[in-house]
Amino acid sequence: MAVEDALVKTGKPWRRGALVRDPGEGHRAATPLELFFDLCFVVAVSQLTAALEHDYALGHIADGVIGFLMLMFAIWWAWMGFVWFATAHDSDDVPYRLLTLLQIAGVLILASGVGKAFDGETYRVVVAGYVVMRVALITQWMRVARQQPSVRGRALRYGLGMAVVQVLWVLSVIPDSETFFKAVFVPLILAEIAVPIIAERSDSPGQWHIGHVSERYGLLTLIILGESVLAATVAVKDATEFGVTASIVTVAAGGLLIAFACWWLYFDTLGADSPDTSVRTFVWGYGHYVVFGALAAVGGGLATAAAQVAGHGGEHAIAERTAALAVTVPLALFLVAVAAMSVRPNDPCGPDRLRKWTAAGVVVVLAGVFLPPAPATAVAGVVVSLLVAIEVVTAHRRYVSSGGGPAIAS
């Protein structure tokens, strides 16, 4: 009898239809499917980071950075499209799950084409994976349009807008020319970005569960940060294959400080943030492209620094300046992006935080310009650690001055 009761409680129809979730729904947390989705997307990010490191080793700095920015946009944008759809319309029925798994298949296809894209051979595999992801999401939006009259206008704007842009992506790779694809890439990006702006017209209220979205962004930040630590760890392990040196230990220690500080700084600012206006929601949501990309690039930079100090690369010796800047530049971008997005209206602390973090970013970049990779990484780690200490002290003083008094553990 107990088993039958359990089956009744856990059973559900295979098809519930599209839903409109309550933006104020309580206890809304990331689902196991969403976590699986994030993990599979980070597979593509790891391929991207490895390709960036490879281009650094070959001395193809500009090509590597441009390729990274392009493909990071494709991965991030497809991920973000699903996040904002799911927070409003996750029905968790069989069709919804299958369409989500199709999006995961798409990102794996995209990941398999990263190497060919970086080598300039073809972008067709990457675009094929991207279009698969977007077609699955278009189907989700059209399902909402068909079954939920209250939000039909928004859903149609999303679905039809994305469909038009996917046709343009397919046309962009018909010539199979790297030069042509890069020439049309920015206009197509702008078209992608324009779709949500147009779709979110003021004729209907927003359906986004901001707390759920904030958690989803934080989870992907954690996973990308973990992937970056893994990439650096593997590089340090390879670097110590023939012996441990002071330079390798310095890179490892500096990288660890950077990882800890990035976690602390993000989750004490944006990780605890919930954008509360429509304009700020767009800035917050779109600005995370820099945050995610910078964290992924830091991992590639740490791996590059470890390979450089170990003398790996054979005939393709990595330049000291390249290895140092590969760590410090994305770290500085991360600091500025997080600080800028954490500024809220009528927040006296925001502008001061932005000034401090920008100054720290400048010091970090200067370390990359004037120091070899090992000391540059160490200086960067110390700077961001000091920034954490400053923020902790500042937060404590603000708490005490507000009348909270010292915290006492119970």
162-210: per-residue pLDDT in tens? 999 999 999 999 999 999 999 999 999 999 999 998 998 755 556 788 8
Q: Are residues 272 and 370 in the same domain?
A: yes
pLDDT in tens, 105-149: 999 999 999 999 998 899 999 999 999 999 999 999 999 999 999
CA 250 to chain centroid, in Å, comes to 27
CA 28 to chain centroid, in Å, comes to 21
Confidence at residue 4, expressed as pLDDT on a 0 to 100 scale? 42
**In 3-state terms, what secondary structure has residue 91?**
coil
Q: Are residues 272 and 173 in the same domain?
A: no
**In 3-state terms, what secondary structure has residue 404?**
coil
Q: Are residues 157 and 251 in the same domain?
A: no
Confidence at residue 10, expressed as pLDDT on a 0 to 100 scale? 56
Tell me: pLDDT of 307 over 70.
Answer: yes
Q: Where are the alpha helices (DSSP H) in 240-319?
A: 246-267, 278-310
Confidence at residue 253, expressed as pLDDT on a 0 to 100 scale? 93
CATH number, residue 306 = 1.20.1410
> Is the Cβ–Cβ distance between 159 and 138 less than 8 Å?
yes
Q: Are residues 245 and 376 in the same domain?
A: yes
Q: What is the dihedral of CA 98, 155, 77, 340, to 10 degrees?
A: -130
Average pLDDT of the chain to the nearest whole number: 88
Tell me: pLDDT of 18 over 90.
Answer: no
Instruction: Please say whether the dihedral angle defined by the alpha carbons of residues 125, 129, 132 and 138, taken in this order, is positive or negative.
Output: negative
Q: Are residues 380 and 244 in the same domain?
A: yes
Tell me: pLDDT of 375 over 60.
Answer: yes
* 300 in a structural domain: yes
Cβ-Cβ contacts under 8 Å for 72 (sequence gap 6 or more) = 45, 48, 289, 292, 293, 296
Query: Quick one: what percent of the chain has pLDDT higher than 70?
Result: 90
Q: Are residues 166 and 273 in the same domain?
A: no
Model's pTM, two decimal places? Answer: 0.90
> Is the Cβ–Cβ distance between 33 and 97 less than 8 Å?
yes
pLDDT in tens, 23-35: 888 888 899 999 9
Q: Are residues 83 and 179 in the same domain?
A: yes
